[in-house]
């Protein structure tokens, strides 16, 4: 029997971990003054240091250390008082010194936790083991044999990205998520991505590789109800690399769970190994099998001195941490009085900022939500664009809403005004004026229109007097039509009832 993700997580207990690499957006590289920019001509952003020339020496980038500390603080980590860089020694063409400068047993940030909120509002705490600073490698391009490394004839190396600052965030193993494992993993990485963007330390673009994830997964036997699941030893885990999108994270876990369950269910062992995610086949393939694990021979980097951030500086940086996204959302939801489902829809539609800005411009939260999630979402959908790219600002919407509340426009007229704004005719006030959109509230005009309508539908008055108040609707409709929708419908109804000599 071939396991699916659902059956695998039903029959086994999944435990997972994620390593996220965040590329920092500093101006220069981690250990040299070469520019840190994406997409340039090969080997135009290299120097003796990042090229690994004999005699060159690294000097750490102050800004990168600062960014790493801020990230660590956002993750609730402690900041180590003294940490040394370490060399991770291995040979590879894209590693210009044939060692990577990283941190080993003295990561700058350690022991934190991050609250991750799932789509349905469930909050999960993810334990963070460490966040450390290291440098990125260059890029290999494989030639011949279809572009991949298998079957390539030779490779070309560009060191432009070699030496770019990275922060690696490692979680503790996360247990007990069951069938929500993939969902939690995805949400965790999304949260990290949002966090680094909010901190301003990275552009957080997975598709460009500035946030990368390696996913570890293992399965263990599921215990009976009432027994202690955490007493069961962890299974052998696989590490899946090259997972370049949030969707791929979920898909990779789905695949791995099934693959491992298939093995375990027939008594075969899961090999502890590195695997690669293949986007086209939505599966993982094994990495090169090694006779023995690479021995990185870590030792403290002798060319640089310990990083010892003062406690004062750390506290100063703590003051620059923006509010945690999940906390901010909770606070806004409470302030705005949105129901959970309403809030969730807003977040999923990426409309949080739009609504916040509209509220800041003076609109009531529910009104703002109604506009952005209602009419504007509909229009955006029609035009097949994101609602945030419509040519209307939160200030516009606030103004529009204020016109409705002032009684100048009703809902229908407001929508017409909106059309005009979207067409570039100007602000809502300007459009309403130019198009002559205004609720008619002049009683004599309304009375005249009501009388005309009653005259053309004589039996309605009798019906109303008879107690069938809903018959007034036909007159209201007629008056609205006659006034091109610009009558104040409520007032019209009042006048009709007056004429009938009836009260509500």
Name residues contacting other proteins, limited to 149-188 (CB under 8 A): 149, 152-159
Closer by beta carbon to other proteins, 50 or else 397: 50
- Give the shortest CB-263-to-other proteins separation in angstroms: 21
Contact call for residue 44 and other proteins (CB under 8 A)? yes
CB of 35 closer than 8 Å to CB of 27: yes
Contact call for residue 299 and other proteins (CB under 8 A)? yes
For other proteins, the binding residue among 8, 20, 32, 184 (CB under 8 A) is 32
Closer by beta carbon to other proteins, 145 or else 374: 145
Contact call for residue 84 and other proteins (CB under 8 A)? yes
Number of residues forming the site for other proteins (CB under 8 A): 75
Closer by beta carbon to other proteins, 61 or else 402: 61
For other proteins, the binding residue among 229, 245, 274, 393 (CB under 8 A) is 274
- Give the shortest CB-210-to-other proteins separation in angstroms: 17
Structure tokens given for 104: 């080993």
Q: Identify the three-state secondary structure at position 212.
A: strand
- Report the distance separating Cα 88 and Cα 105, nearest Å: 12
CB of 471 closer than 8 Å to CB of 463: yes
**Interacting residues with other proteins between 97 and 136 (CB under 8 A):** 97-99
Identify the burial level of 222 via C-beta atoms within 10 angstroms of its C-beta, where 0-12 means exposed, 13-18 middle and 19 or more buried: middle
Contact call for residue 279 and other proteins (CB under 8 A)? no
Contact call for residue 437 and other proteins (CB under 8 A)? no
Name the DSSP class of 283.
E
- Give the shortest CB-256-to-other proteins separation in angstroms: 17
For other proteins, the binding residue among 46, 252, 397, 414 (CB under 8 A) is 46
- Report the distance separating Cα 309 and Cα 198, nearest Å: 23
**Interacting residues with other proteins between 300 and 329 (CB under 8 A):** 300, 302-309
Contact call for residue 233 and other proteins (CB under 8 A)? no
Closer by beta carbon to other proteins, 299 or else 445: 299
- Report the distance separating Cα 497 and Cα 489, nearest Å: 12
Sign of the four-CA dihedral 354, 245, 250, 100: negative
For residue 66, which of 137, 164, 169, 165 has the smallest C-alpha distance? 165
- Report the distance separating Cα 133 and Cα 169, nearest Å: 9
CB neighbours of 80 closer than 8 A, spacing ≥ 6?
A: 106, 107, 108, 109, 110
Contact call for residue 284 and other proteins (CB under 8 A)? no
- Report the distance separating Cα 154 and Cα 140, nearest Å: 10
For other proteins, the binding residue among 2, 4, 27, 205 (CB under 8 A) is 27
């Amino acid at each position: 029997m071939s396991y699916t993700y659902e059956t695998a997580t039903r029959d086994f207990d999944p435990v997972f971990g994620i390593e996220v690499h965040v590329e920092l957006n500093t101006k220069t590289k981690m250990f040299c003054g070469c520019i840190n920019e994406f997409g340039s001509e090969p080997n135009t952003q290299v120097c003796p240091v990042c090229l690994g020339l004999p005699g060159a020496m690294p000097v750490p980038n102050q800004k990168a250390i600062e960014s790493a500390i801020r990230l660590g603080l956002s993750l609730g980590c402690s900041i180590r008082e003294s940490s040394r860089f370490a060399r991770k020694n291995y040979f590879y063409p894209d590693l210009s010194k044939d060692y990577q400068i990283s941190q080993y047993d003295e990561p700058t940030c350690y022991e934190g936790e991050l609250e991750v909120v799932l789509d349905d509002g469930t909050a999960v705490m993810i334990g963070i083991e460490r966040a450390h600073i290291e440098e990125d490698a260059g890029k290999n391009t494989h030639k011949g044999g279809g572009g991949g490394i298998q079957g390539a004839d030779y490779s070309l190396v560009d060191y432009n990205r070699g030496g770019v600052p990275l922060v690696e965030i490692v979680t503790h193993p996360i247990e007990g998520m069951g069938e929500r494992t993939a969902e939690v993993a995805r949400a965790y990485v999304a949260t990290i991505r949002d966090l680094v963007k909010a901190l301003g330390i990275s552009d957080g673009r997975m598709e460009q590789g500035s946030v990368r994830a390696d996913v570890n997964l293992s399965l263990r036997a599921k215990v009976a109800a009432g027994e202690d699941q955490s007493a069961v030893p962890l299974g052998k885990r696989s590490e899946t690399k090259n997972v370049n999108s949030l969707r791929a994270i979920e898909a990779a876990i789905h695949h791995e769970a099934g693959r491992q369950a298939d093995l375990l269910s027939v008594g075969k062992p899961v090999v502890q190994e590195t695997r690669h995610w293949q986007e086209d086949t939505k599966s993982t393939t094994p990495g090169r099998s090694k006779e023995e694990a690479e021995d990185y021979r870590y030792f403290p980097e002798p060319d640089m001195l310990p990083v010892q951030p003062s406690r004062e500086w750390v506290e100063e940086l703590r003051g620059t941490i923006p509010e945690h996204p999940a906390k901010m959302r909770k606070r806004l939801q409470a302030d705005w009085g949105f129901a959970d489902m309403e809030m969730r829809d807003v977040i999923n539609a990426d409309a949080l900022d739009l609504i916040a800005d509209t509220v800041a411009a003076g609109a009531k939260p529910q009104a703002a939500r109604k506009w952005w999630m209602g009419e504007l979402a509909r229009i955006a959908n029609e035009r097949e664009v994101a609602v945030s790219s419509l040519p209307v600002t939160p200030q516009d919407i606030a103004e529009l809403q204020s016109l409705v509340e002032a009684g100048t426009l009703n809902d229908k007229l407001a929508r017409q005004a909106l059309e005009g704004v979207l067409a570039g005719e100007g602000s809502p006030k300007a459009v309403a004026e130019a198009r002559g959109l205004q609720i008619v509230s002049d009683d004599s005009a309304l009375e005249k229109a009501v009388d005309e309508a009653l005259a053309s539908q004589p039996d309605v008055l009798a019906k109303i007097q008879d107690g069938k108040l809903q018959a007034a609707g036909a007159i209201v409709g007629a008056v609205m039509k006659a006034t091109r929708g610009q009558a104040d419908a409520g007032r019209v109804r009042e006048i009709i009832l007056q004429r009938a000599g009836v009260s509500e």
